[in-house]
């Protein structure tokens, strides 16, 4: 089963400001939202055995005063050219402190209704731009070191948006999201110039801005391979909402189309 990197979407609504306003604003301010995406097979290489893939991605982000809470569920049914189907799901719950230094995560992977992997733990950085430690309590108690410059998911998304707002075209940093127990990935994000939004039939003030197309490559930490383990392509609004998503694996890719988007009530702090 391919691992989902859903927390690349861990940024959330940052108000209804335009790109021109964001260019002189403080770093992205986050608000709460819920989005759903219709997932489907975008491409399949010859010999992959993949005939089709369908499913949904439900994503929710909430401001918890001293941190951000992220929840998502990705459910995909894979159909194979030689027959047969496999139903998979990924359920995630995470909390990240607003200073970007503390991160709690819990992930459950299932296949045909049976749990195949559970991962849970806490990660801490020694300070901004510094390394730290991730301590797992599942599947087994152990610790791994986080390299200097590691970012957690929401902070990574904020950096992407801020880099794009300032006209930057590249962000290269280690990213730790807790999915699996392999540790952080080295990520390289290429950021395109802002283009007009195309939200299909959706009407929402959250989509009233241009978007930045981005493509991110994920390498195992310290890898010397020239090709990434997987990639992700998406378009980001300056408020953190992602419209189009594509997860690109070695033999096939999945595309997500935004179906619904709503702002959630702000919490009382």
Q: Is residue 252 part of a domain?
A: yes
- % pLDDT > 70, the chain: 88
pLDDT value at 23 more than 80: no
pLDDT band at 2; cut points 50, 70, 90: very low
pLDDT per residue as tens digits for the range 165-217 = 999 999 999 999 998 777 899 999 999 999 988 766 788 887 888 899 999 99
What average pLDDT score do residues 248-262 get? 93
pLDDT of residue 28: 60
Q: How many domains does the chain have?
A: 1
pLDDT of residue 47: 80
pLDDT per residue as tens digits for the range 212-245 = 999 999 998 888 888 899 999 999 888 888 888 9
Q: Is residue 203 part of a domain?
A: yes
What average pLDDT score do residues 96-112 get? 96
Q: Is residue 1 part of a domain?
A: no
Mark 230-264 as b/e (b = at least 16 C-beta within 10 Å): bbbbbbbbbbbbbbbbbbbbeebbbbbbbeebebe
Q: Is residue 187 part of a domain?
A: yes
What average pLDDT score do residues 42-61 get? 92
pLDDT of residue 175: 97
Q: Is residue 268 part of a domain?
A: no
Omega within 30 of 0 (cis) for the link into 56: no
Where helices occur in the chain by DSSP H, the ranges are 19-22, 153-165
Range from 31-40, 103-112, 210-219 carrying the lowest mean pLDDT? 31-40
Q: Which two tokens stand for residue 222?
A: 């310290």
Q: Is residue 27 part of a domain?
A: yes
* Residue 89 CB partners (closer than 8 Å, separation 6+): 73, 74, 75, 76, 109, 110
Mean of pLDDT over the chain: 86
- What is the domain range of residue 48? 6-263
pLDDT value at 125 more than 70: yes
Cβ-contact 82, 139 below 8 angstroms: no
Question: Which segments within the chain are labelled E, that is strand?
Answer: 33-44, 50-63, 67-80, 85-97, 102-111, 114-125, 132-138, 142-146, 170-175, 185-191, 212-220, 230-236, 242-248, 252-263
Q: Is residue 50 part of a domain?
A: yes
Neighbours of 211 (CB within 10 A): 24
What average pLDDT score do residues 89-95 get? 97
From the list 172, 183, 252, 243, the residue with the least C-alpha distance to 213 is 243
Q: Is residue 183 part of a domain?
A: yes
How far apart are the C-alpha atoms of 14 and 17, rounded to whole Å?
8
């Amino acid at each position: 089963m391919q691992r989902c990197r859903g927390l690349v979407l861990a940024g959330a609504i940052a108000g209804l400001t335009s790109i021109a306003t964001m260019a002189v604003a403080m770093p992205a301010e986050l608000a709460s939202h819920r989005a759903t995406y219709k997932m489907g097979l975008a491409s399949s290489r010859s010999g992959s055995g993949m005939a089709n893939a369908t499913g949904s991605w439900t994503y929710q982000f909430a401001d918890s005063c001293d941190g951000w809470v992220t929840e998502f569920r990705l459910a995909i049914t894979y159909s194979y050219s030689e027959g047969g189907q496999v139903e998979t799901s990924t359920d995630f719950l995470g909390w990240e402190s607003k200073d970007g230094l503390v991160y709690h995560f819990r992930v459950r992977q299932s296949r045909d209704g049976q749990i195949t992997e559970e991962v849970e733990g806490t990660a801490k950085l020694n300070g901004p731009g510094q390394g730290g430690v991730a301590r797992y309590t599942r599947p087994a108690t152990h610790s791994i070191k986080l390299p200097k410059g590691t970012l957690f998911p929401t902070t990574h998304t904020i950096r992407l948006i801020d880099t794009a707002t300032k006209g930057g075209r590249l962000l290269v940093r280690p990213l730790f999201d807790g999915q699996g127990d392999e540790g952080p990935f080295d990520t390289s994000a290429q950021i395109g110039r802002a283009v007009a939004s195309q939200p299909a039939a959706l009407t929402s003030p959250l989509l009233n801005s241009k978007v930045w197309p981005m493509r991110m490559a994920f390498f195992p930490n310290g890898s010397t391979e020239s090709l990434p383990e997987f990639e992700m392509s998406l378009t980001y609004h300056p408020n953190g909402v992602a419209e189009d998503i594509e997860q690109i694996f070695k033999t096939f890719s999945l595309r997500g189309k935004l179906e619904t988007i709503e702002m959630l009530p702000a919490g009382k702090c």
